[in-house]
A and B are shown apart, each in its own frame.
Chain A
């Protein structure tokens, strides 16, 4: 009994600490995304090759970074859970795929809309696109495994192991444009030798990425809060 109460004490403290952060996040996210969109859509120069369609980049690239970062976050949380057996880690990690899959979908959809005017096709089966599609499937698998193990202690373990095995996809996505010949352009911001993108484009992109990052934090925190409430409710109702 005491051990179980101890188990729920820390998530409660966690929620008390992060609630103010959540509110700050949503306002800052709305402001930054609006600012980034205005800067990106009206004030940044068109690309010399792609023309006006380059403005899709401000959404496409920032949500792609977000979905990759979300997976890295899941990976580290799962490793921490397996090492320290602290249930809050996997509680957080389990809520991330629900949000991250939305950003993955946004990336794929905007990417195919961007591909039509520039490459002439919505979809090609090359390395970057295929590995990103596999990322989408891995997120779906993580959601599935969370759903099938509802309220089962084995589910946490399965989730962590599966996310660790799936993490092999992340470096493949990052380096796929260097290892294979693909239609997708090579990395232009995070690369050895500094960014090759121009400053007028880099600033709105950074603002958008940061705004989407804050939006992601807000959505994940909201999910975690409801997950903790749900587990509290289950614990109370199982006591009767």
Chain B
């Protein structure tokens, strides 16, 4: 995040829109970098197989993985985003919007990423391919999140309701898919 103001050179403050985009892109990268290791190590050393053989409920494992991934890649960004927004643009009127939309969007990123990270378990090349496949599914969330953040009045608006709807469907639906995929990958 600190790179963005430096990259823009001699301007004292960034435009508000640019600073919002910078925060969202940083969120995205933080998420994608951590996503690669979500199930990778457990799959490689056989822990996942061990869970399945011992009939540990996989849903619990998946929820725990998602929660820890969110705690490490989502929560820090939510906490420092208002500060960063002020540092970037010298403007803190829309902090509430930024906070709410990031709070709604980062769990969705994690939840969407988890089945895709599970899908890529058996493949030989990783990293770049995972990023490439995950990005189109993140795009709608980013679009609505940025739209929600850019709103000038501080009312809670339609974009937040939409993100909330996606989150409440996704929190049930995506771990379910992940469990199905993990079972398919192991067997």
Contacts and interface: CB of A to CB of B under 8 A. Distances in A.
Interface stretch (A52-60, A152-160, A200-208, A229-237): A152-160
A138 B136 CA distance: 6
Interface in A138-191: 138, 140-141, 144-145, 148-150, 152, 154-155, 157-158, 161-162, 165-166, 169, 172
Interface of B is mostly: helix
B135 A154 contact: no
A161 B140 contact: no
Interface string B1-21: 000000000000000000000
B129 interface: yes
Interface in B127-148: 129, 132-133, 135-137, 139-140, 143
A141 B119 contact: no
Contact of A134 (B122, B139, B181): B139
Contacts of A161: 115, 119, 177, 180-181
Nearest to B134: A141
Given A130-B143, A154-B185, A157-B184, A162 B133 contact: yes
A137 B120 CA distance: 17
Interface string A124-144: 000000100010011011001
The contact size tier of chain A is 20 to 34
B124 interface: yes
Contact of A157 (B132, B133, B137, B185): B185
B136 A137 contact: yes
B122 A152 contact: yes
B182 to A, nearest CB: 11
Interface residues of B, number: 24
B81 interface: no
B125 interface: yes
Contact of A148 (B115, B125, B143, B184): B125
B123 interface: yes
Nearest to B122: A154
A149 B123 contact: yes
B122 A149 contact: yes
Contacts of B133: 141, 144-145, 162
Contact of A166 (B123, B129, B137, B177): B137
A144 B132 contact: yes
Contacts of A137: 135-136, 139
A11 B123 CA distance: 25
A140 B132 contact: yes
Contact of B115 (A130, A152, A154, A165): A165
A149 B129 CA distance: 11
A144 B129 contact: yes
Given A134-B136, A134-B139, A158 B129 contact: no
B162 to A, nearest CB: 11
Contacts of B120: 145, 148, 158
B121 interface: yes
Interface of A: 130, 134, 137-138, 140-141, 144-145, 148-150, 152, 154-155, 157-158, 161-162, 165-166, 169, 172
Given A137-B139, A141-B133, A161-B115, 6 more contacts: A134-B136, A141-B136, A152-B122, A154-B184, A155-B122, A162-B133
22 contacts: A130-B139, A134-B136, A134-B140, A137-B135, A141-B136, A144-B132, A144-B133, A145-B129, A148-B126, A149-B123, A150-B124, A154-B184, A155-B122, A155-B123, A157-B181, A157-B185, A158-B119, A161-B115, A161-B177, A165-B116, A165-B137, A172-B140
